[in-house]
Structure 1
């Protein structure tokens, strides 16, 4: 396994561990996978992450999936494409888990020399209180409006402890004319930073506000020599490449 692949998987593992613990969820580590379980039926935060290509204990994986399904716990499975051995593809098919998307894993080697200035109407505030957390939550949940996932996420954020993540993750909201329009999250993992949840409300897209939030997050890293990773959709890949990010792999999502 390449070092960049190890860093990407380790970062995602640390992220899902953090965001399950903040709602008093559980985290399971095995030789084949890790699992975050919030005990809320959300496939956004309940995540099965394979860590090896060959499954050493298939029964352990099956028992875990069957337990989630018996408890009616929605979850998603995120697999680095280099780990998609038939061990995993056959098992996922057995439980009728289907591929729903692929994202490009991208890396920037360091953030030294990034200009902190942004020329836009965006005012960015860190989420440090209940008011800005509510704004963040509302933008986040709009992605899933009128779906069971939206209801589950409302439950998740009702239990969410901001204090529990602040040593490892910083959340931000961008405002235009005092109205919340975009979000972003910067995670500090053991050997990398991660950028997540760069979301812009539908009516404000196409104005560069998400790009401004993304650029701002890059200026907030304390260790400028530490690499930054993110997962890009096909639409966002070119934006991140212009910022110096390079593709290092692909993450396949099953639900």
Structure 2
């Protein structure tokens, strides 16, 4: 695996660690995998992330999965497709974890050429207080309306501490006519930025508001020489390619 691919996995590892610590969760790291456990039954924030194609400690992998399942904790497994070896495939099948989606890992080498001027109709605010956090939470959870995950995420955000993010993750809400309509998250590590959670409320889609939020996040990178990474759905891949992002891999999600 080349250094860029390793950087993408390392960024996701740091991100899930941070968002587990934001609710006083636990984080387990081994030679084969890392596991964030919020102690809330959410497959959005409880993540098993393989870090090696070869499993050195199979018993530890199985013990981690069995512990989550015995506690009835929902979780998801995110695997870089280059690490999806027969060993990992067998383990996932054994515990009835099924593939639910594949996302393209994409990278922009630097943001020095990003036009700082936006033509957005959005008023974008950073999440720095209870009201903006509530607006962010409501938009985020709407994606899961009617599911058990929605209730779990309510619990997650009830316990959530902004202070625990230590400015490594900056959350933003976009307002149109003073109504919260979109979100975005900019995450920073030592060697990269990551863009996550670019969400637009269903009734406001199709107006380019998600693209406006995405562009705004790119303008908020302080170190313009750092690369930016994201994970794109099939629908979003072409949008990001037009912004200069290039595919560098694929992430397979199991639940």
Measure how far apart 1:166 and its partner are.
Answer: 3.8
- Normalised TM-score (structure 2): 0.99
Measure how far apart 1:120 and its partner are.
Answer: 2.6
What is aligned with 1:245? Answer: 245
Could you tell me how far apart the structure 2 residues matched to 1:161 and 1:203 are? 29
What is aligned with 2:54? Answer: 54
1:35 and 2:45 are equivalent in the alignment:
no
Superposed CA deviations along residues 151-176 of structure 1, whole A, max 9, x for unmatched, are: 00000000000111142010000000
What is aligned with 1:9? Answer: 9
What is aligned with 1:160? Answer: 160
Could you tell me how far apart the structure 1 residues matched to 2:117 and 2:145 are? 34
Measure how far apart 1:190 and its partner are.
Answer: 2.0
1:106 and 2:110 are equivalent in the alignment:
no
1:181 and 2:211 are equivalent in the alignment:
no
Measure how far apart 1:118 and its partner are.
Answer: 1.6
Alignment of structure 1 residues 113-192 onto 2, 5 Å: 113-192=113-192
What is aligned with 2:197? Answer: 197
What is aligned with 2:18? Answer: 18
Answer with 54-63 or 98-107: which moved more. Answer: 54-63
Could you tell me how far apart the structure 2 residues matched to 1:117 and 1:238 are? 22
- Normalised TM-score (structure 1): 0.99
What is aligned with 2:236? Answer: 236
Could you tell me how far apart the structure 1 residues matched to 2:191 and 2:116 are? 23
**Secondary structure at the residue paired with 2:56?**
coil
Superposed CA deviations along residues 157-201 of structure 1, whole A, max 9, x for unmatched, are: 000001111420100000000000000000001210000000000
What is aligned with 1:220? Answer: 220
1:92 and 2:81 are equivalent in the alignment:
no
- Unaligned runs of 5+ residues in structure 1 are none
> 1:11–1:190: 8 Å Cα contact kept in structure 2?
no
Cα RMSD after superposing both structures? 0.6
Could you tell me how far apart the structure 1 residues matched to 2:62 and 2:5 are? 25
Could you tell me how far apart the structure 2 residues matched to 1:238 and 1:171 are? 24
Could you tell me how far apart the structure 2 residues matched to 1:4 and 1:106 are? 10
**Secondary structure at the residue paired with 1:49?**
strand
- Unaligned runs of 5+ residues in structure 2 are none
Aligned residues: 255
